[in-house]
Amino acid sequence: KIKKTASANYEKIAKAIGIMKSKNIKVSLININTSDYSFKPDAKNNRILYGLKALSGINEDIINLIKEHRPYTGIKDFMERVQLPKIPMINLIKAGAYDEIDEGFNHDRIKIMTYYLYRVSEPKTKLTLQNFNGLMTNNLVPDDLNFEKTVYNFNKYLKANKKSDYYMLDDKALSFFSNYYSDYLDSVEIVGGIGYISQKIWDKLYKTTMDKVRDWLKDNQKEVLNNYNFLLFKELWDKYAFGNISKWEMDSLCFY
């Protein structure tokens, strides 16, 4: 049987926190090294430690994993020894779980979140033609490569219509090929009213066309790489870290 655990009742949690704060009892944020399943007194610091089980996106398996590998020196140390899904990790950061221990980032939650999201955005170390689609999607390809962008998409279209060692040219594809590669029309074979071009011939034409893209990437590698990695990071930031610290705490803890 699968063991079911009750989900946190955030209405009751919010009410309890409100009562404690009205009596001038300090309720802390999560502490990755000392917080337990439920709320508990922290006599040393004269406060109540927020319970991990009440944190959004955290279950008992994750709590056990966290406790098993304690203590941690910061976010980097934690990530080396504990692999958690993205949402629990983000909620731990939002809840301030690393604030008190992470001297490497000067106990700055925004810096901690920046480090984590940059890591999981999987920044590239080098850009090649394989990244061209991502560069186009993020509007990082200049207008003077518009033809190459069209040919890149045309090549994808052909690969989706590959028959053995030939690419099939339907009416749409044949029209494009006739307009831009008219010098090679004698390489097209018509069978049953459908055009075909050998994979070897088209791949060579495609490679020659895309050499201009390779040269552009080579000449602008550093700038384009930095811009692309920033956009990969920004996409995650906008999705998971939108808002200020107070919003982060409300998202994860239901109080700030």
CA 91 – CA 53 distance, rounded (Å): 12
| Angle made by CA atoms 199, 205, 211, in degrees to the nearest 5 | 130
CA 151 – CA 148 distance, rounded (Å): 5
CA 142 – CA 215 distance, rounded (Å): 13
Write down the pLDDT at residue 16. 81
What is the tens place of the pLDDT at every residue in 176-229? 999 999 999 999 999 988 999 999 999 999 999 999 999 999 999 999 999 999
CA 80 – CA 206 distance, rounded (Å): 43
Write down the pLDDT at residue 185. 94
CA 256 – CA 245 distance, rounded (Å): 8
pTM of the shown model: 0.81
pLDDT higher than threshold 90 for residue 26: no
Q: Work out the mean pLDDT of the chain and round it to a whole number.
A: 92
pLDDT higher than threshold 90 for residue 93: yes
If one compares 24 and 85, the residue with the highest pLDDT of the two is 85
pLDDT higher than threshold 90 for residue 28: no
